[in-house]
A and B are shown apart, each in its own frame.
Chain A
Amino acid sequence: MIQEDQLNWQRFRSGDKKALERIYNDYRDKMYSYCLYVTGDREMSHDLVQESFAKLLESPNLPEKVESVKNYLFICLRNQLFKHLEKTKVRREYLATAILDSQPTAAAEVSCETRRFLQDILGKLKPDERDLILLRSHQQLSPAEISKITGLSNEAVRVRLFRIRKKMRQLAGEL
């Protein structure tokens, strides 16, 4: 997969738009899911993913090689996400129903425990806390990869993950 990604990236850099389409199809859903679970907003998540790929298309200075295409895409996406969150500053209620119920298939797979978790625990974290815990546990990125994406040191990532897990435990204890 990594080799295929690298090949697609090089082809895209050479002007092959079909290669970007392949990259888009491979990572669109993961990027969208990540945004959705961080923001709780389908429309915003959709726009953020589109903007990230539009930026890639417009960018004149793409790196020749990337260590990980997935990590690079998440760096672009996070930049858009936090820029947007900074601009909007409107506190929207984080609704598990908004995330799950518009897709009947997805809703069928999800248990009550998961719904409660989304609404009462994940929904009560700050966006930057959700960001980090989702990158680790949902997107399965290692602390080293998260460190490269966020610009934090490896140890800082681990300490923050620990604090987020403690907070999540406290929130679970309040239920």
Chain B
Amino acid sequence: MNRCDQFQKLISDNLDTPLDSGMLNELQEHLASCDDCVRFSETAGNQDLILKSLPIQQPEGDAIEVQITDVRTGMINRLWHLRIRVPLPVAAAALLIFVAWQLIEPETTPSESIQGRPAAQSRVEYLQTERMQPAVARLISSNQTKSKGVSQ
């Protein structure tokens, strides 16, 4: 560090903590004959003032967020605890049961009868009927059609 650097360090230190009188006198003597250090002192001082006067900014939102964060954190903690209490094999078994139930579940949506198949008949019943002797199946089907015709 050359001599000017040392004095410029003193100028910088003086911005943070006032120098003792001995050092201050030494600095002032140097400044009386060094333009570069004088310019540094002026620039550093101006920039320090600009930094001090930068406006305090405000975020959007208000103090209530502290409460909301607390509640949210609590809810997240409770949900997390629920999640890890269900073991993986149990979850897998539950999923399989759900999928199997979906496959077996009778159709409940109303639909038009298609080529003699009664609309309200379950898929299982329909399959069973078709596996019965074809003649009996056709008889059941025709009875159902007749009763439909009578009621109309």
- A152 within 8 Å of B (CB atoms): no
Residues of A within 8 A of B12 (CB): 158, 161-162, 165
Which stretch (A3-11, A50-58, A72-80, A83-91) binds chain B?
A50-58
- A133 within 8 Å of B (CB atoms): yes
Main secondary structure of the interface of B (DSSP, over half): helix
Q: How many residues of B contact A (CB 8 A)?
A: 31
CA distance A109 to B55 in the complex (A): 8
Q: Is A138 in contact with B54, judged by CB distance below 8 angstroms?
A: yes
Total CB contacts across the A-B interface at under 8 A = 101
A100 CB to nearest chain B CB (Å): 8
Q: Is B9 in contact with A162, judged by CB distance below 8 angstroms?
A: yes
Q: Knowing A17-B67, A57-B70 are in contact, say whether A49-B48 is a contact too (CB < 8 A).
A: no
Q: Could you give, for residues 76-119 of chain A, a 1 whenever the CB lies within 8 Å of some chain B CB and a 0 otherwise?
A: 00000000000000000000000110010010011001100110
Q: Of A33, A143, A158, which one neighbours B54 at CB under 8 angstroms? A: A33
CA distance A30 to B58 in the complex (A): 8
Q: Is B63 in contact with A168, judged by CB distance below 8 angstroms?
A: no
Q: Knowing A114-B50, A137-B51, A158-B12 are in contact, say whether A25-B63 is a contact too (CB < 8 A).
A: yes
Q: Could you give, for residues 18-44 of chain B, a 1 whenever the CB lies within 8 Å of some chain A CB and a 0 otherwise?
A: 000000000000000000000010011
Q: Is A158 in contact with B58, judged by CB distance below 8 angstroms?
A: no
B63 CB to nearest chain A CB (Å): 5
CA distance A165 to B11 in the complex (A): 10
Residues of B within 8 A of A20 (CB): 66
Listed A/B pairs (23) with beta-carbon separation below 8 Å: A25-B63, A28-B63, A32-B58, A33-B55, A33-B56, A46-B61, A53-B69, A54-B73, A106-B57, A109-B55, A114-B50, A114-B54, A122-B51, A136-B16, A137-B48, A138-B52, A138-B54, A142-B17, A158-B9, A158-B16, A161-B16, A168-B44, A172-B47
